[in-house]
Chain A
Amino acid sequence: MIAESSKSQESRFSKIVLDNPLKSILIPIFLTFILGSGLRFIIVDDNMMAMIPTKMESKMTWDAVQNEFGSTESIFIAFGKEGKNIFNKEALSQLWDVTRALEKIKEIEKVNSISNIPKILSNDGFLEIEDLQKNRELSEHTTEDIANYVNANSTIKNRMVSKHEDYFNIIIQPSPNVSHDILRHRVVQVGDSLLSMNYDIHYGGTAYITGSVPTMIKKDISTLIFIGLGLMCGILVLNIRNVFSVFLIFSIIIQSLIVMAGIMGWITYYTGSKYFYFTIINSSMPIILLTIANSDGVHFVTRFFKEMRSGKDTRQAISASIDKLLMPIFLTSITTISAFLALYFAPINQLLGYGVCLSIGILYAFILSVTFLPAAISFKKWNPESISISRESILEKTIRNIGVVIISNPVKILKTGLIIILFGFSGLMFVKVDVNIANFFKKGTEFRKSIDFIDEQMAGTMDFRVRVEGDVKDPGVLYEIEQLQNALKENPSINATYSIADAVKQMHFTLMDNNPEFNTIPKNGNKISNLLAMYSMSGDSDDLASIVDYNYNTSLITALSSVMSTDQIISFVDHIQSHVNNLEIIDRVSVTGMGVVIRDLIYLVIESSIISLVASLFGICFITSLFFKSMAWGMLSIIPLLSAIIINFGLMGFSGIYLSHVTALLSSVIIGVGVDFSIHYIYHFKANRFKDKSEKNSTETFNEVGYPIVLDSASNMSFGALIFSNFIPVQFVGGLMVFAMLATSVGTLTLLASLTEILKKKQIL
């Protein structure tokens, strides 16, 4: 009879799930299988440049430069022995071998080293352009000749020999559209196999970094995520005290992740859209979905135990849990989805795919939480006398006691909260943006040592490219190119520059019988034209292809520099721009290079984060206002989020943690998790207030949602394991993740709880 009467109180939805438990389990599993099978169509794209909008100015210049002059991203191999002069027969023979071996790699467009560059000389009335190193085996005399020629040509020496002449540098230009990951692998294979026996080797260059970092980060994060998941599991088991329930929460998390990834694959398969490729920016998706899916599962399971504890049978407890959580979980899901779909407005196109796939994952976690999870729970025979059901955990009891303190002292709590927010707010002005890739690595690590070596001893890891539009045969244009190069050299980080102006000066000097007076740009355009024609008679037509276009209308100034911070890049580009404004003859100048493009990319990521943040806050406020039929509730729902974001970014400002594309992901996590907490609180507050108009309802609300919120936060804090990463920004994310969880949960249970209490007392709510 009791069972019958409880059945009659069930909502229609609970009834369907509980009357068809097998279907409610198998259908989602089948769906997971079907949707997840799209995984095989996922395309992983390591190319950071792919995510940059094509209309961004530095990207447009970048594309134009790549198109006109070939790839400007390079890998450097520096080899030698510290303190030992590198100009010796053996080293030049090794250089010959490595250069030839690299030239055979199909992923490589061009290799430049002392062993394959041309030398221009004027000799006994002859003008000769020939190989600087003609053979593998050299005599002492020819070795000395090579050393003398290189020492007399600073443009060559700066790029190809270390400052102390103890290392040679090989510059490798990738073929178009080659994966830097593969290229890096091939280059290191050749370099290590031929050089590691006799020399110290250092690798560097932007293509080396972009080819190494994504894979290294992925490996590092994958390991740490597994550790995080283990910790999460431990925290849940310790508090829920039931392995089966934790297993179910994890099965929701895993299935949601599979579906999210599968959908990404299916959409790529059917649309071919690059927006759905898995790029480095998408690597934050699993963590975000994990925290959200975990939240849904934790709320349901803890509610089920609470209902069981109040003496209900399993079916009644499940049914009550569904009925009480269906709406808040739905609401938290659609608000979070709206937040991620707001990425549609973000300037980075890849974020559209990011938002869509994450939203589908969130929706699926919701579906599983209200179908699969209750149905699976219903299959188990639960013992009401078991510890997990009959006794509250220590955490649960503690939170209940804290709740009493908060609800009875709302004004004090609110004031304290506001002071903390103000403190966080003042830290916002100290937040700095930096994307210095070298700073990803701790000093002293092998990777960092190599980058530092290339920066300190060779021409440097970073490059700036200045694209100049103007007739190169016009001396005025060449003078202005030379001026620009001088302006570039004023920056102490710039180690070498080269352009067509250098090549013309060298041709002029050589033609005029090596008279130093003629190491200049000729004053007459016809002379420049004659020099270029003369070069075409002896040199390889490709020799000039990396500095001037085919019709001599566009040229490229290259500046190699040590790694600069984002601030330094900004002021450097401004410095160049100020010189550009003074140019009179050159038609157009634009600056690009990996540093500039990455700087712009990061700004886009941050801009995207801000857009998504603002759009999310509006969206969440709007949806909750609509649902709770009150603007006040809408405003209240975003307070914990807003305060958590302010405190988090304020902390970053005070502690000197730079804002980068990696740390910017914190705002998404805060939104994803924070909105869950506030909506659960508000929903239960309203429901309890409707049920019981006495003052008890706030305490009751706190008791109902406080524990799952704190448990959810505590388990998500497992991602604090990221603090053990080898990458500094990922370490920061680990630390900030813990802080974000604290900020969102404490924000909800203090600010929101005290505010609702105060407003309730003033009869505003």
Chain B
Amino acid sequence: MRAFVPLFCSITISFSQSGLDIAQKLDNKERPQSVFSRISMVLTNSKNKSRENILLSKSNNIGKNQIIWVLEPKADRGISFLRKEYEDKDNEIRMWLPAFNKIRRINSNRMNDSFMGSDLSYEDLNSRVLSDNIYDRLNDELFNGIDCYVLNVTSKPELKSAYSKHILWVSKKNLTILKEQSFGKNDELKKVKIYSYKMVKSYELASKILVQDIQKNHKTEIYIDYISINTDVDSKLFRESSLKRIPRL
């Protein structure tokens, strides 16, 4: 999941001048190959009403293959998703509906569609390809007292995106993204994401992500309750049959 990509950012820092240099360093950061996590996702709407989903996620290939099982709410338990990112063809999402005993493919081409009613769109979930964007370095700023690079990431015209640009606040010390603002096609602020991190082994991984949809006044809080990295996540897991079996933690 793109949103969880900062999970995999390493601590490595090096000084750079241009926006592209910083972006390259971010892209080159060492990340765990596989992740097994338990995630709480709390959705809150404009009327301050909330609902919570508890999910299990397994991914490998630096998040390009991912399978998610719904544990809660109880009525949805067993619903699962298989997501595969491809470079040469459209990404794939399959959904298992246990009550119907059916697997349905979901069209993930509509980049702006929401994932599970959250503020994360399919585009947010996908990894950002370095060459798809133009990176400009803006004036450095402090965010929550942390000295940050500020990058203006503009989508190239040929890129199919719901966004016109993103502004990233990247910690100089850890080279982790602390805040991201995403702007719509009319340059209106659409979303704000704020990340918190914790150290897991040698990796600095996101422990909490807050996504706010400014237009809809809706927010999504993602808490990583449990995380285990570089465990043995077999590539064979990422197929339809695995959707039907919820793994144990």
Contacts and interface: CB of A to CB of B under 8 A. Distances in A.
Interface of A: 67-68, 122, 125-130, 473, 511-512, 522, 524-527, 529-531, 533-534, 536-542, 549-551
Interface string B220-239: 00000000000000000000
A125 B115 contact: no
Interface stretch (B91-99, B168-176, B198-206): B91-99
27 contacts: A68-B47, A122-B104, A126-B104, A127-B95, A127-B106, A129-B107, A130-B107, A511-B97, A511-B102, A522-B99, A525-B75, A527-B99, A530-B79, A533-B79, A534-B95, A534-B104, A536-B114, A536-B117, A537-B115, A539-B113, A540-B114, A541-B117, A541-B218, A549-B49, A550-B45, A550-B47, A550-B50
A130 B110 CA distance: 8
B105 interface: yes
B116 A533 contact: yes
Given A125-B105, A473-B75, A537 B99 contact: no
Given A529-B99, A530-B100, A541-B218, 7 more contacts: A122-B104, A127-B106, A128-B106, A526-B98, A529-B75, A529-B76, A538-B106
Nearest to A121: B107
Interface string B109-125: 01001111100000000
A539 to B, nearest CB: 8
A359 to B, nearest CB: 42
A534 B73 CA distance: 14
Given A68-B47, A127-B106, A551-B49, A537 B100 contact: no
A394 to B, nearest CB: 71
B103 to A, nearest CB: 8
B71 interface: no
B51 interface: yes
B100 A527 contact: yes
A537 B93 contact: yes
B9 to A, nearest CB: 28
Nearest to A529: B75
A526 B100 CA distance: 9
B216 interface: yes
A512 B95 CA distance: 15
Most chain A beta-carbon neighbours within 10 Å: one of B45, B51, B107: B107
Nearest to A539: B113
Contacts of A512: 100
Nearest to A126: B105
A530 B99 contact: yes
A118 B114 CA distance: 14
Leading 8 A-B pairs by shortest Cβ distance = A529-B75, A526-B99, A536-B117, A550-B49, A527-B99, A127-B104, A530-B97, A530-B99
B106 A537 contact: yes
A407 to B, nearest CB: 72
Contacts of B50: 550
Nearest to A527: B99
B43 to A, nearest CB: 8
B233 to A, nearest CB: 23
A255 to B, nearest CB: 50
B16 to A, nearest CB: 39
A745 B220 CA distance: 72
B70 interface: yes
A537 B110 CA distance: 11
A187 to B, nearest CB: 21
A115 to B, nearest CB: 17
Given A526-B99, A530-B98, A551-B51, A538 B107 contact: yes
Nearest to A526: B99
Given A534-B95, A536-B117, A511 B100 contact: yes
Nearest to B70: A533
B111 to A, nearest CB: 12
Contacts of B79: 530, 533
Contacts of A525: 75
Interface of B: 45, 47, 49-51, 70, 73, 75-76, 79, 81, 93, 95, 97-100, 102, 104-107, 110, 113-117, 216, 218
Contact of B106 (A126, A541, A550): A126
B88 to A, nearest CB: 20
Nearest to B104: A127
Contacts of A529: 73, 75-76, 99
Contacts of A68: 47
B104 A67 contact: no
A379 B218 CA distance: 72
A542 B43 CA distance: 13
A488 B50 CA distance: 32
Contacts of B104: 122, 125-127, 511, 534
A15 B115 CA distance: 87
Nearest to A123: B107
B70 A540 contact: no
A527 B98 CA distance: 8
A536 B45 CA distance: 14
A530 B117 CA distance: 13
A125 B107 CA distance: 10
Given A536-B116, A537-B95, A551-B51, A127 B105 contact: yes
A581 B198 CA distance: 57
Contacts of B113: 129, 537-540
A537 B81 CA distance: 10
A551 B49 CA distance: 8
B33 to A, nearest CB: 27
A130 B105 CA distance: 14
B114 A541 contact: yes
A125 B104 CA distance: 6
Contacts of A549: 49
B239 to A, nearest CB: 15
A534 B107 CA distance: 12
A526 B216 CA distance: 29
B45 A126 contact: no
Contacts of B97: 511, 530-531, 533-534
A127 B75 CA distance: 21
A13 B1 CA distance: 90
Contact of A550 (B51, B81, B216): B51
A225 B246 CA distance: 77
A749 B160 CA distance: 87
Nearest to B115: A537
Contact of A126 (B70, B75, B98, B107): B107
A509 to B, nearest CB: 13
A542 B217 CA distance: 12
Contacts of B106: 126-128, 537-538
Contacts of A527: 99-100
A126 B117 CA distance: 19
B99 to A, nearest CB: 4
Contacts of A541: 114, 117, 216, 218
A169 B36 CA distance: 50
Nearest to B218: A541
Contacts of B116: 533, 536-537
A538 B104 CA distance: 12
Nearest to B107: A128
A541 B219 CA distance: 12
A125 B97 CA distance: 13
Contact of B76 (A67, A125, A511, A533): A533
Contacts of B73: 529
A34 to B, nearest CB: 46
A550 B217 CA distance: 14
Contacts of B51: 550-551
Nearest to B49: A550
Nearest to B44: A550
Point out which of A122, A537, A550, A551 has the most chain B C-beta atoms below 10 A from its C-beta: A537
A415 B98 CA distance: 87
Nearest to A104: B186
